[in-house]
Chains A and B, each alone.
Chain A
Amino acid sequence: DAGVTQSPTHLIKTRGQQVTLRCSPISGHKSVSWYQQVLGQGPQFIFQYYEKEERGRGNFPDRFSARQFPNYSSELNVNALLLGDSALYLCASSPGTGDGETQYFGPGTRLLVL
């Protein structure tokens, strides 16, 4: 069974540009969460989506947005990129059947903003 997949694996953008990152959850999982991991730090929660609805949002500016599709895949969009947005962006999926579920992480997308 395939795990969580993310695309692209690496991305280089310049300041002010926009970027879209993609995530496909484990088959049967309905919940997708996004995290940002800056070098040397632990991941920070950005969004959670469940059944195409936003269920939680971390402390990130409105330049960050996300959506979930009917097949439960998800996109994270970041507008007006800043140098500080350079990070590993991780997607995690879980079944969505209850609280406190194990989250399964993808390999991440490494974004470099120049």
Chain B
Amino acid sequence: KQEVTQIPAALSVPEGENLVLNCSFTDSAIYNLQWFRQDPGKGLTSLLLIQSSQREQTSGRLNASLDKSSGRSTLYIAASQPGDSATYLCAVLGQTGANNLFFGTGTRLTVIP
């Protein structure tokens, strides 16, 4: 069974700092990997999706990488801002035929002004 782990569970950084969030998964047979943002009590906002054949995706200050063979992904946030404060979730889509996303437990990020 696919297991997704995110480290660290919580992170606090001063505004302007660059940071990296980590995600690891146990089964490399995936279709894709997605990074989501979740604000307290809210739904999920998709940030980046990396197909299994890709190595990285970029959107603005965000860059996500994927190393399928080692079962790892990182989300790099440049020049962090207080508005980036949220929980970041990593999810992988397995090759089972169903849209079954396996999620990690998230990293709670706080950016201090």
Contact = CB atoms under 8 A, between A and B. Distances in A.
Interface stretch (A11-19, A73-81, A101-109): A101-109
Contacts, number: 72
A86 interface: no
Contacts of A68: none
Given A42-B91, A42-B104, A101 B42 contact: no
Interface string A19-58: 0000000000001010100001111110010000001101
Given A42-B104, A44-B103, A100-B51, A105 B43 contact: yes
Interface residues of B, number: 29
A113 to B, nearest CB: 17
Interface string B56-99: 00000000000000000000000000000000010101011111
